[in-house]
Amino acid sequence: MKVFNFSAGPAMLPKEVMERAKNEFCAYGKSGCGIMELSHRGSEFTEVIQRATSNIRELMKISDDYAVCYIQGGASLQFAMVPLNLTSEKGIAQYVDSGHWASAAIKEAKSFVETEVIASSKDTNYDRIPEIIPEELAEAASYLHITTNNTIYGTQYHSFPETGIPLVADMSSDLMSRVVNVNQFGIIYGGAQKNIGPSGVTLVIIRKDLAERLSRTIPTMLKYKTYVANDSLYNTPPTFAIYMVALVTDWMKAKGGLAAIEKINDAKSEALYERLEETAFYKNPVEPASRSRMNVVFRLPSEELEEKFVKEAKTNGMIGLKGHRSVGGIRASIYNAMPLEGVETLIDFMNSFEEKNG
């Protein structure tokens, strides 16, 4: 039976990528060794990391003013690295609270710097992207931090705030799923395990001057400048995860780049939201203008029906549809590797499930 993985992450990878990785797993190129066995300073892996970086720069149109870094620790480590590197001990950082992971970033920043939340949608259970009032932006702040897509609540920024200070974006769940203007941001970061690879590596795109801003003493491995100066090779990086990023970005280029991928992602989410609008049996709690193209959340008339939906979907080859434990419901994560066929299969199942249980 063909299985479609709707998990929020680690998420499904393109079939073509998995097949290529399988074929190269035990013997990469002419090395006679598996990619995980090769030295991170050897010629074979040097080609891999350089290809991954070149692909990312080409796909995202990243200028030489920015460095592309591969860091371990997930987005959660970035919650600490951002304030430690960008803010002095007497500085202030501004944040937008749009959900669970935004709140986690705020909590971590408060351990190191004065932190101000300038907009939040917590009072409406994070059903929208909160509006930023320009007057609330402080010119003296070190940066403004946003979370561009909120996996738990199914919300997403569809435009980004204009600000006179560096804009820092956690793009963990929509990184490289659409075209963005990198020059709008000071730092973009995100775990690979949604759209660009497996878990184990975090992609950080940082304006080079910000990597030099550090004004306090912190551990070497928490300094952005360590990664920039050493091309992410100061110590042994997560070589297999970076290899997979190289393969996924090869696949993205073969698909026609981010504009083509964005078009497919739009078609997938539009089809699913259109189905949700057809009936009261399924309800999406998100304001339409804030709906995520990556994580489509919805509720059924009862929790019992939701449990039944998840169970029967699994027997029909659709896994990972259970909503986050903090909110319940159903969540369909439709990242880059989810084909349109998977969404169509889900919609067909939704139709039959409603006929039997509505």
Q: What are the strands, taking DSSP E only, across 129-223?
A: 144-147, 149-150, 155-156, 167-170, 187-191, 202-207
For the record, the structure tokens of 264 come out as 């497919």
Q: Are 195 and 336 in contact (CB under 8 A)?
A: yes
- In the set 2, 61, 64, 101, the catalytic residue is 101
Helices (H) and strands (E) in the chain, counts: 10, 13
Start-to-end CA span in the chain (Å): 27
Catalytic residue among 170, 223, 251, 268: 170
Closest alpha carbon to 350 in 253, 271, 232, 295: 271
User: Is the separation of the CB atoms in 8 and 320 below 8 Å?
Assistant: yes
DSSP assignment of 316-352 equals TTEE--BPPTTT-SEEEE--TTS-HHHHHHHHHHHHH
Inter-residue contact 204 to 222 (CB < 8 Å): no
d(CA 279, CA 354): 9
Q: What is the DSSP string of 212-243?
A: T---S---GGG-HHHHHHTTT-SS---HHHHH
d(CA 59, CA 54): 9
For residue 208 the two structure tokens come to 């080079």
Active site residue 101: yes
276 CB-near residues (< 8 Å, 6+ apart): 282, 283, 284, 296, 298
Can 170 be counted among the known catalytic residues?
Answer: yes
Q: Is 208 a catalytic residue?
A: no
The Cα–Cα gap between 7 and 351 comes to 21
Q: Which of 194, 223, 268, 322 is catalytic?
A: 194
Question: Beta 202-207 vs 187-191: how paired, if at all?
Answer: antiparallel
Q: Which residues are catalytic?
A: 101, 170, 194
